[in-house]
Amino acid sequence: MPRMIFMNDSLVPEHEAKVSVFDHGLLYGDGVFEGLRSYGGRVFRLDAHLDRLYASGRAICLAIPLAKPAMAKAVVDTLAANNLADGYVRLVVTRGAGSLGLDPNKTSHPQVIVIADTISLYPREYYERGLRIVTAATQRTQSAALSPRIKSLNYLNNIMAKLEGLQAGCIEALMLNHKGEVAECTGDNVFAVRQGRLVTPPPDAGILEGITRAAVMELAAAAGIDCREMALVRHDLYTADECFLTGTAAEVIPVVEIDGRVIGSGVPGPVTKRLTDDFHALVRQTGADR
C-alpha cells in the first residue's frame, strides 16, 4: 500500500505528491516547516507546533492557506491514513510557484504538504551510552540577520555544521553564536547540569525555542530541579556534571563527550535519566496537549 501524503487539500499517494520546479521553496528555501511526533495516536503538543508554524509564516509574510483547525485535521488524517499511532510528521508550507528571481510577490498558491512516517534519529545505543559530539566551526546564523525563531526551509547553516560533525566521526555537532557562546546543536537544543542546577542557553543566544525543550524545562520544575536560561560557553559544558540534548525527533539524549573532553563520569547521569523517564511518561499520558 503506497504511503499517503497530504497535499494542499487532500490525501494522495506518494507518487502523486509533486511540487513545481518553479516553487520558491525548492529554488530558494522560501517556506516554513514543523516536525511533530505522535505517541499512541495522539500528536504531542500539536497546538504549540502549529502556533510556531503560523508565527514563522507571519514573520516571512507567508499566508498559510489552511486555517489552524484544518491544518490540525490534516496532520491527524495523514497519520491515520498511514496507520501510524507512533510516528513522525513533517509539515511543510512553501511560498509556491513563481518566476525565477527572489520576488515573493511573483509567486502563487503556497503548497501545504504533510508527510507521516517513522523516524529513528539516533541508534538506541546512543540513548544508553551517550553521544560524542564536536564543536563546529560553522557559527549559528546571527539573530540580527535571520531570527532563529523562524523555522524556515533553508537549513544550510545547520547542514554545514552537521557535515563537520560527520566528518569528525560524530553524528551531531555543537554550534556557537558570533560571540562564542553556546547556541544549540544542528538539530537539537542543549542542556547541562552544573552543581545540581539545570542550565540551557537563552533565546537571545540564537536558538530555536524547541517544543521538547519547553517540555523538559516544565518537567524539571515539577521535579524540583532548578532550571535556568543563561549564557554558556564551551567551558561550562566541558566542566558540567551532565549534558543532554532535546528535540522532537531526538526526544532526550545524553552527551558524554564534547571535543574529546569526557563530561562528568562519562556515562548518562541521574538528572538526564530522571528527565528522560519523565518525558517518556509525559508523552504517553492521555489528554489533549500533555
Active centre residues (catalytic): 151
C-alpha cell at 29: 528555501
| Cell numbers placing 12 | 494522495
